[in-house]
Structures are given as C-alpha cells and as structure tokens.
Structure 1
Amino acid sequence: MSGLEAALSEASSPSWTQRVRAGRHLASFADVPEAAEVLVRLLLDVEDTAVTRQTAEALARVGTVAAVRLIALAVAEADDNRADWMGTGLYDAIVGPDGVPDVAAACGKLAGDPEEAVRRGAADIAAWAHGTGC
C-alpha cells in the first residue's frame, strides 16, 4: 500500500489522532482529486475539532493554490465553530516558527475562481491572514 493509499485509509479511522495524521500527510497531495475530497471531509470533521485545526494548519503550510482552495471550500461550508478552528489552524501556520508561503497571495488567485463558494471562502481566509500580519 502506498503512502497516499495508507493516508486515505487512515482518514476514515475512528481515532482522531489517526485522522489528524492523515490530514497532515494528505496535505501535500492537495492537487490529487481523491486526496482533495478527503481533505475537505477532514476539515469539516464532525467528531473532533483537532482534526479540523491540524488539517487546516497542514494545508496552510503547503500554501499552494490547490491547498488553500480546499480550505476555502471547507470554510464556505462550515458552521461558525468549524470555521473558527480552521482560522486557528491557519493562524498557527502563519505565526509558527517556520512561517508559511504567502497564503494571502493564494487567496488573491482564488478570487477569480469559477466556484462562488471558493471565492467566498478565499475572501474569509484572506481577511484572517491579513489579521495576522501576513
């Protein structure tokens, strides 16, 4: 079983720690459709906000347009509590000791996305990133 296949399988685990591990691992595969679908599901994890927070942080650390797009999609679907935890994960990545790529720049590229939910979510993320001094 490949690392991608193992992480996809782990994402369905009843264990929140395994789902967190899957989110961290899958973040680097944000541009792979099978992984993207699972990552959005992890961002919206209904059982544990740690999964939401740490998956958002991992995607923000990747910082590609594809990775930030997944956060934007999830933000557009999330209730206020889940959105807050995604914002916290984003904050953790931006102000962490290693910093992250320019998330605001990725959001700028997503402002023209054909999907309205992505544009709306990207606007929220850009506001969060701006609020952290990014």
Structure 2
Amino acid sequence: MTKRWEAALAEASSPSWTRRARAGRDLASFAEVPEAAEALLGLLLDAEDTAVTRQTAEALTRAGTVAAVRLIALAVAEADDNRADWLQTGVHDALMDSGGGLDVAAVCGELARHPEEAVRRGAADLSVWTVGNGL
C-alpha cells in the first residue's frame, strides 16, 4: 500500500467531514480493493454530513469502473430518500462535468446482471439517473 492510500483509509473515519470527503475522493481509484471498498461504502452513506456522500459519489462516478459504480449502486439500494438525493447529486455533478454518462450507463447495464439483488436494484436507479441527464 502506498502512503497516500493508507492516509486516505485512515481519514475515512475522521471526525472531520472535510477529511472524510477527501478520503472519498482519494480512495475512489481503489474501489476494487476490499478495504477501500468498505470505507467508500461507509462514506457514501455517511451519517454525519451529506457533503461526504455527495463528493464520494462524484469521485466514484468519475472513476467509472465497475467496482466504483457497484459501490454507488449498493449505497443507492441502502440509502434513505435524503441520502439517495445526495448520491444522485454527486452522480449528476460528475456526469455533467465530464460527459461520462454513456460509460456509467454501460456499467449499469453490466451490473443489471450482477448476482446481488441490491446491486441490480441500485444499478437500475443509477441507469435512470444517467438517462435523466440526457447522457
């Protein structure tokens, strides 16, 4: 593990929302690593601050990997309505800034066949969000 990765993992449990948000951004490229994935899912569902949710969702959407989008889908399936709104905002921000909606939509199509029901359900919601962006 690199020092940056270790530091981001430690910051994921910080009492500071800004450090947790930074951890979400820094860990997004490590979504396939089990320890990072666990921390990222916690950040997506952060109970303390919706900015952490939004910024982590945005970073994972920008990463656009199957592992990253899978984590968003899991969070969407578990989130209450308020948290889901902030997840959607983070996804929307990334899609509008990067025009990456087609890639995320393709990943959602792949996740529609995932063995976990929660992933399939969350991916279906994410897919609607990408269509809603006109991407």
* TM-score of the two chains, using structure 1 as the length reference: 0.97
Which runs of structure 2 are paired with 1:75-86 in the superposition (5 Å)?
Answer: 75-86=76-87
Describe how 1:1-134 pairs up with structure 2 within 5 A: 2-96=3-97, 98-100=98-100, 102-134=103-135
Deviation at 1:106, TM superposition (A): 0.5
Shift of 1:2: 1.5
2:100 and 2:29 map into 1 onto residues whose CA distance is 14
Unaligned runs of 5+ in 1: none
Over residues 66-102 of structure 1, what are the superposed CA-to-partner deviations in whole Å (9 max), with x where a residue is unaligned?
Answer: 1000000011010000011000000000001x33361
C-alpha contact (below 8 Å) 1:40/1:74 kept by paired residues:
yes
Contact 1:52 1:86 in 2 (8 A): yes
Which stretches of structure 1, 4 residues or more, deviate above 6 A after TM superposition? none
Q: Is the 8 A contact 1:49 1:82 kept in 2?
A: yes
1:114 Cα deviation after fit: 0.3
- Of the structure 1 ranges 99-108 and 18-27, higher mean CA displacement relative to structure 2 is found in 99-108
Task: Note the aligned Cα RMSD (angstroms).
Answer: 1.0
Q: How many residues align?
A: 133
CA contact (8 A) 1:62 1:100 kept: no
Q: TM-score, normalised by structure 2?
A: 0.96
List runs of 5+ in structure 2 lacking aligned partners. none
